[in-house]
Amino acid sequence: MTRDLTGDFQTQRQAVNQMPYPTLTVRRDRLARLARMTKHHKLEIIRAIQTDFGQRSDVEIRMAEISAVLHAIRHTRLHLWHWMRPWSVSMPWRLMPARARIAPQPLGVVGVISPWNYPWSLALMPVVDAVAAGNVVMLKPSEHSPATSALLQRLVPQYFTPEEFKVVEGDVEVARRFSGLPFDHLVFTGSSAVGRQVAQAAAANLTPTTLELGGKSPAIVAGDANIDKAAADIIFGKGMNAGQTCIAPDYVLVESRHISALVKALGEAIQRQRPDDHAATRAISVAHQQRIDAMLQEASDHGCRIIDHGPHAPALIIDPHQGLQVMREEIFGRCLPVIGVSDMSAAMHYVNARPHPLALYAFTHDKGLQQQLLQTTRSGALVFNATLLHHAVPSLPFGGLGESGMGAYHGRHGFERFSHLRGIFYQAKRSASSMLYPPYRRWLIKLLGLG
């Protein structure tokens, strides 16, 4: 059956026209319903996600899917009253005693296209921010996580009217038509290749977009780092969801003189954190598993040293050739290349010679090196001595640049992303603005510094 996407969109457009500025009470109520939907159906959410993956850690689902959404909602409901308030801005002396303010206003109808790797949280996190900003939302969840998408399709109408929040299931063709709707803002999370197509479709309507595209996020291990702690943090980030995370460490750069020690520490961290490979999270599909297996086989065929602790645990590839698929593409799986470099300058040059990543992880406590990394590299986020955890900070913007995306959301940054920050000018009852009218006087031109 072909979905009437235009009809769904027009229903929401009419709702926006009838309520262009939802009150704080309305917005907080919608956020509360999102929280209830997630909290009251957590067991169904876990079962659906496990069905989609074949096998996925119960704890990881609770942490990265359910708790992440509930934490974002709590933070947003607490601070929303403050975010919604207009604020005053300074006025040039030449225009005094006029006043100026900025007032956040809802954009209208926001479209969200979500991915399969975190099918609950990455579907609802943009919705939290869009609803907080006073918008209504249409969501197209991924067809590659059908059980979770079907659950969203079933649950959302129990908590929201179609005018507030509408879920649209469908295949690639539905996603293509969805991208072409004249939304007031469109959010896409997924691959760079599909992101380009989404941006092109949105451009026909001049629809502004937020693109979260991932990329090859490096981890740099400096000479002063605690090797064991760095290895544990890297394996935590790589092991989460079997590496199917847009901000997972994609490869590791380390000074060549420390590579043996780091490889040993990484192997030990895998054995500690992932002792039962059979209980590990699976690849989302057979095709995705075959792609990862092909990367490992190609590296092996080219003589790379591979340290593999099981078919689902992180697999280390030592100093792979740059022409290999594992180095050309975002891995989005369990492969972890470990590359030796001469020094930290070489590591930074390596990162800067490639597209900007969504995250850059640097393991060092050297303040000078931290400042150098801050000033000379570009990435969506810069994280010192940890992996993934920045995503759990609602006050930090989350987003990429260049190949890793455009725009950022989360917390206040998301509220403002899905708002129009409307400039407002208030002229005073008594003002000297008439002096600016022509004919222009010489003394005024001199006073205004225009001469």
Gyration radius (Cα) of the chain, Å: 25
d(CA 150, CA 166): 13
CA 309 vs CA 217, 242, 245, 259, 274: distances in Å = 23, 13, 20, 19, 9
Q: Does residue 298 carry a catalytic annotation?
A: no
∠ at Cα 278 (272, 280), nearest 5°? Answer: 65
At a CB cut-off of 8 Å and minimum separation 6, what does 147 contact?
A: 47, 48, 49, 51, 52
Catalytic residue chosen out of the listed positions 60, 65, 163, 246: 246
Helix or strand holding residue 447 (H, E)? helix 442-447
CA 169 vs CA 1, 57, 422: distances in Å = 11, 26, 34
Structure tokens at 110: 């926001």
95-127 burial: b if 16+ Cβ within 10 Å, else e: beeeeeeeebebbbbbbbbbbbbbbbbbbbbbb
Three-state SS at 278 = helix
Shortest CA distance to 236 belongs to which of 270, 267, 210?
Answer: 270
* Backbone dihedral angles phi then psi of residue 261, each to the nearest 5 degrees: -65, -40
d(CA 393, CA 410): 9
Q: Does residue 304 carry a catalytic annotation?
A: no
229 burial type by CB count under 10 A (0-12 exposed, 13-18 middle, 19+ buried): middle
Catalytic residue chosen out of the listed positions 65, 164, 212, 330: 212
If you search the block for the tokens 């999270």, which residue do you land on?
A: 281
Helix or strand holding residue 209 (H, E)? strand 209-212
Q: Are 169 and 153 in contact (CB under 8 A)?
A: yes
Catalytic residues: 212, 246
